[in-house]
Amino acid sequence: MREVFSKFLVDLAKKDERFILLTGDHGYALFDELRRACPDQYLNCGVAEQNMVGVAAGLARGGYRPFVYGLAAFIPTRVVEQIKLDIAHDGLPVVLFGDGAGFVYSTLGTSHQCAEDIACSRAIAGLDVYSPCDDVEMAWALERAYAGQRPSYIRIGKADVGAVHAQPMGPDAAGLCPLAGASNQPLALVATGSMVALARDLAAEVPASIAAYSLPLIKPLPEAALIALAQRHQAVVTLEEHSVFAGMGSAVCEALSEAAPLPIKRVGIADRYSKYCGSYAYLREEHGLTLAQVRQVVQDFSQRQGLALAG
Amino acid sequence: MSSTQANYFAGAFDPKQLRRSILAMAKAGNAVHIGCSFSLVEILAVLHRDFLRYPGNDPDHPQRDYLALSKGHGVMAQYACMLERGWLDDSHVARYFSDGSALMGLSDSRTQGLEVTSGSLGHGFSVALGLALAAKRSGSQQRTFCIIGDGESNEGPIWEGALLAAQHKLANFITIVDENGLQAMGSTADIMDLGAMEAKFASFGFEAAVVDGHDETALHAALTRFCDGQDPRPKALIAKTVKGKGVSFMENNNAWHYSRLTDETFAQANRELED
């Protein structure tokens, strides 16, 4: 996913002289090729995220196409107000990236872990929010954000959990992607970002009972596709490496409670911080987000809903 | 962009008239922030008269100079100048703050003539830097003037941005500090002492100067030096001002950050501003 991101930036820099990448002194090797090929289109704004976002807004006003890179703990979380006032308020075509969302920085503790970025960003009027899960969704999100010329936030979580999509997504894809085998099973898993591969694997265990979907577009939410989903299935479990408060699952609940109510269980990060550090896998387990733990949650929820899960 | 006369607006921008316009708006809208607006009247008058280039007096001209009122609390002073330019008319004054009216009590970028949304402080400065950077990258001769307050300079992004301005040698970026010595709850010296702002900006890599912010001749001279000089550094003009300047009972009286006009104070203030 990061390679797709990096290559997209280089290709865009060569194609569009208005493109400029701004980073708050983050990215390390990610921008090596961009800096080599198009050094004038790379701007390290220093460890100063608030100013960087304002500068990006000014550059956009002056005709440029800024892409702003940071860690999700900082972009958008630290700079919510700059995104709101300086960028989204005027619909400026600035694309923001929050890397390392969730528990990617598993050993660095609370300052670098991020469970709040979807909640922060989707409340900002006029800001699109993406959460791609693999190379295909990342390429789709990048193209859509660039071509749409709208304020956009792209969340980058754990990036190496493997490919989910076998085929590219067309530019008109709905933003809700049924994964292989999804039809009208009783239960639907709707996952985003780093949780999509797990949802796929869980569904594959009981393919007659569970359908899996990826939701890379969190705002504007593909409501029509979600309503259709609600009409095909009897219950939904949402999965995200983000707070269960005001994240993707909440967005799905908001949309479906009005238009097509059905039981929904939100799986995500509970109302607490990581207590210890360790590997990424360790933190996923600490927060109840491993395959075995999610399987148990899904089984318990299905039982309460009177759904029998069988292969 | 050429500096031909056609880019400048032949207006008097008379400070007394501008202050009377501010009073009229404040009275019509029952608005606050009169003192904040009065302190930057001469600064704006000089900028509009002699420095801001709007070809064809078009506030949206793509080659205009930028005026970013990062100190959004002084927006009525800018409205008064926009009124003189014909970008606003008397109906805007009469309808100020009435239901469904467009002019906000703080700078809002959706209004022609206001480049930035501010009032949450420290925002306009960074956006203005982006505008200056865009102009420099494009090889444009556009200048960016950014007005900040001394209270506003408590905000971290001001100093983040100052570092960036110097790093990129944004000589086309001219910030003017409306240093009236007061912020919302009292004197800057008592709340968050800024010390010598000229020295601070100089140490951040700016060409900096101090001027009496109500002396139009001095303001003009200082800005001319900045605009005509060859110094590659960004510019900072520390304008020593008086909050509430122009009306005796408002001057240095921080109550006029929040106070509203009565019929009596409105009449009294206007009498002091008669020609």
Task: State the complex-level ipTM.
Answer: 0.95
Q: Structurally, how many domains does chain B consist of?
A: 1
Nearest CA among A216, A305, A295, A227 for reference residue A261: A227
For A28, half-sphere exposure in the C-beta direction (CA atoms, 13 angstrom radius) is 3
Task: Tell me the CATH number at A242.
Answer: 3.40.50.920
Task: Tell me the CATH number at A67.
Answer: 3.40.50.970
Contacts of B115 in chain A (CB under 8 A): 61
Round to whole Å and give the CA distance between B233 and B201: 11
User: With an 8 Å Cβ cutoff, is A54 touching chain B?
Assistant: yes
Residue at B8 is within a domain: no
Reported as a single tens digit per residue, the pLDDT across B17-42 is 999 999 999 999 999 999 999 999 99
Reported as a single tens digit per residue, the pLDDT across B142-152 is 999 999 999 99
Task: Tell me the CATH number at B266.
Answer: 3.40.50.970
Please answer yes or no on whether B130 and A45 come within 8 Å at the CB atom.
no
Nearest CA among A140, A135, A126, A125 for reference residue A176: A140
Residue at A160 is within a domain: no
State the alpha helices, DSSP H only, in A96-161. Answer: 117-122, 135-148
Q: Is the pLDDT of residue B1 over 60?
A: no
Q: What angle do CA B26, B73, A66 make, to 5 degrees?
A: 135
User: With an 8 Å Cβ cutoff, is A13 touching chain B?
Assistant: no
Q: Structurally, how many domains does chain A consist of?
A: 2
- Domain range spanning residue A274? 177-304
Region of B38 on the Ramachandran plot (φ > 0 left; ψ -120 to 50 alpha; else beta): alpha
Q: Which residue of A has its CA nearest to B144?
A: A58
Looking at the fold, whether A6 and A151 belong to one and the same domain comes out as yes
Please answer yes or no on whether A58 and B157 come within 8 Å at the CB atom.
no
Region of B6 on the Ramachandran plot (φ > 0 left; ψ -120 to 50 alpha; else beta): alpha
CA distance B217 to chain A (A): 31
- For the segment A272-287, the average pLDDT, to the nearest whole number, is 97
Looking at the fold, whether A139 and A214 belong to one and the same domain comes out as no
Partners of B209 in the β-ladder: B237
Residue at A140 is within a domain: yes
Looking at the fold, whether A64 and A139 belong to one and the same domain comes out as yes
Burial class from Cβ neighbours inside 10 Å (0-12, 13-18, 19+) for residue B10 reads: exposed
Reported as a single tens digit per residue, the pLDDT across A6-54 is 999 999 999 999 999 999 999 989 999 999 999 999 999 999 999 999 9
User: Given B110, B131, B156, which is nearest A50 (Cβ)?
Assistant: B156
User: With an 8 Å Cβ cutoff, is B30 touching chain A?
Assistant: no
Looking at the fold, whether A251 and A300 belong to one and the same domain comes out as yes
Among A123, A155, A187, residue at a domain's last position: A155
- Domain range spanning residue B79? 14-272
Residue at B1 is within a domain: no
User: With an 8 Å Cβ cutoff, is B69 touching chain A?
Assistant: no
Only one residue has tokens 């316009």, namely B21
User: With an 8 Å Cβ cutoff, is B247 touching chain A?
Assistant: no
User: With an 8 Å Cβ cutoff, is A116 touching chain B?
Assistant: no
Give pLDDT, residue B240: 98
Please answer yes or no on whether A63 and B138 come within 8 Å at the CB atom.
yes
Give pLDDT, residue B175: 98
Residue at A81 is within a domain: yes
